[in-house]
Structure 1
């Protein structure tokens, strides 16, 4: 059997904000309310998903008029599940590390170690302006996030934590009880810029990147792994994808085309402007969405680019190809979450595991032949 530790893992986007995962007027049988999310989490847990990621939004926009806060919503989902680990997205600025460390340690204790955290450095200046938060320039936001992560790790793992950085200071701080997870709660972060990869290579456990093609992903992963090795650090990689799995490729492509045809043009264009402004602020002059077309931005984390659109067999083969590039986890959005999570678990996931087992057996046979 395939070693479960070496299997590719799956997460889903928690729809704790309204509007679904595409900026389109197409019907999305997905709901942002709690009761729906409980049923979704339980369905995901039954169908092989190990993680879920709650979103952090403070203001309406791009089709998301309503937003539940991420940390409390994560805890509420955890209370109704048994194995799922929920990744709560938080923003340095609105959160301070002392508060986040204490919140998350408490949830970790109450859920037997099933909380994780995604540190979001921020890309939408309008949101920070609306809530009266400082907006450091792009690379400074990542420096602040790096200090934030250093503080979380120190608070969770040291008896008396002291830190004197540019953004945060601690003097012999002791947190008890500490998290159940050792040495600390899993830390995720996102971003595709040089600054994001540099930060991940130094301090993060997981690096989220937007959806992309194989060549672009390979380049990012190689850069990240080389940098991490130079820092004697290990970081795993997760990629965003929007999955459209149907019985035929024609059906899947028709759904994709309908999503794009029904796109909320005004909202997508506003998003495009905001992302271009965010990208222009990076030292390299481009960010997550620098090469994204209008069609790409209809799924706001470039999920279409990953190309998990087609039959279960096609999608399974592409997932295993992503694993070969160095992807450890796929973060998935769906159009109709509950029913498509169930279809994925029934039709796609068994094929993925079978292909992984075939590759493992072939590798073992090759090794045996070489040593004979």
Structure 2
């Protein structure tokens, strides 16, 4: 690839409504369920899903970063692959799909992160992406012997500033901030994407949205219903405009797609209610509500099933046409796209590719 012509990441591509696959790197994906078919996150299966999504023209793969499980009967997400090496490994077995790494700011030094991310970008020929997590789980911080500081987004802003300067400045520089005191900082090679790989962060709270407005290309957010999401998109537009920037807004969904609505709803009730790992759900929701600020408080009260089914994300449960129509509504509300997670990615993604993607093309949301 000609270095003078930076590659265009698929997240910046032509499709009006973009799609990602979320959390294949962790056992159970986003679910907290005991069904035997739950996602095992074995490497062979991960590669198969990545290649399937790549062939279908799906824009990106987004992993979660976990360092500790959530207890209960299965201790879900204890088994998870580290995300920078995950993206680098998948670069060699895919061709077009974007490959994100999810990185906890307090746990990974920005000088290391800058070089690792640039490595992924070269290995993938310009397909790297960075999902910045400022941290919410004190138990994971304790694994590293670190306290969870109050101003996590303040540290995140310094972290991103250091990475951006490594990628843009010609000479070594010193950095004197509140959280980093660095001398003679530099790093080569620079990434193929210029000025840097695509960035995003998940945020519902005002500090998380302000961080995205100042530092990110895209925000991922949740909502109780699609119509209320319209206000969140507008809120992000206003915050970004105040910084002289534009920030795209994505949402995230868990999917149960079946030939009939009844089949989909029956299976949803089966895996997310009757077979939920209730101890794990209790631990997860209480920690998220106390520390993360990633959901509307009403979500925790009204939608326990959503946390067992998909970490509190929005449910897309029904026929292919119902799911396509829901995605059309998301697009009309201003969302640039959504991620999808499943109970079992390898078993369930093919049906979505075969039945939902053609309906999105008919609706004018996707060219391919």
Question: Is 1:250 equivalent to 2:257 in the alignment?
Answer: no
Structure 2 distance, partners of 1:120, 1:168, is: 17
Structure 1 distance, partners of 2:294, 2:55, is: 36
Further displaced range: 288-297 or 40-49: 288-297
Structure 1 residues 299 and 120: alpha-carbon distance in aligned structure 2, compared to 1, 3 A threshold? farther
Q: Displacement, 1:270?
A: 1.2
Structure 1 residues 166 and 106: alpha-carbon distance in aligned structure 2, compared to 1, 3 A threshold? same
Q: Displacement, 1:170?
A: 4.1
Structure 1 distance, partners of 2:276, 2:296, is: 18
CA contact (8 A) 1:269 1:294 kept: no
**Structure 2 residue aligned with 1:156:** 167
SS at match of 2:353: helix
Counterpart mapping for 1:1-372 below 5 A = 5-62=14-71, 63-137=76-150, 140-160=151-171, 161-171=173-183, 173-259=185-271, 260-278=273-291, 287-288=294-295, 290-291=297-298, 292=300, 293-303=303-313, 306-356=314-364
**Structure 2 residue aligned with 1:367:** none
CA contact (8 A) 1:23 1:264 kept: yes
Gapped regions of structure 2 (runs ≥ 5): 1-11
Q: Displacement, 1:6?
A: 4.3
Structure 1 residues 211 and 30: alpha-carbon distance in aligned structure 2, compared to 1, 3 A threshold? farther
- Cα-to-partner distance string for 1:298-354 (whole Å, 9 max, x where unaligned): 135322xx3421111111111011011111121110112023211111100110111
Structure 2 distance, partners of 1:131, 1:216, is: 38
Gapped regions of structure 1 (runs ≥ 5): 280-285, 361-372
Structure 1 distance, partners of 2:49, 2:157, is: 33
Q: Displacement, 1:134?
A: 2.6
Structure 1 distance, partners of 2:186, 2:13, is: 36
Structure 1 residues 223 and 309: alpha-carbon distance in aligned structure 2, compared to 1, 3 A threshold? same
Structure 1 residues 195 and 4: alpha-carbon distance in aligned structure 2, compared to 1, 3 A threshold? closer
Structure 2 distance, partners of 1:327, 1:100, is: 29
Structure 1 residues 216 and 143: alpha-carbon distance in aligned structure 2, compared to 1, 3 A threshold? farther
Q: Displacement, 1:226?
A: 0.4
TM-score of the superposed pair, with normalisation by structure 1? 0.88
CA contact (8 A) 1:153 1:184 kept: yes
Further displaced range: 179-188 or 204-213: 204-213
Q: Displacement, 1:257?
A: 0.8
SS at match of 1:37: helix
Alignment length (residue pairs) = 347
Structure 1 residues 341 and 300: alpha-carbon distance in aligned structure 2, compared to 1, 3 A threshold? closer
TM-score of the superposed pair, with normalisation by structure 2? 0.89
Q: Displacement, 1:48?
A: 2.6
Further displaced range: 164-173 or 178-187: 164-173
CA contact (8 A) 1:276 1:289 kept: no
Q: Displacement, 1:220?
A: 1.6
SS at match of 1:90: strand
Structure 1 residues 44 and 211: alpha-carbon distance in aligned structure 2, compared to 1, 3 A threshold? farther
Further displaced range: 54-63 or 346-355: 54-63
Structure 1 residues 357 and 117: alpha-carbon distance in aligned structure 2, compared to 1, 3 A threshold? closer
CA contact (8 A) 1:212 1:302 kept: no
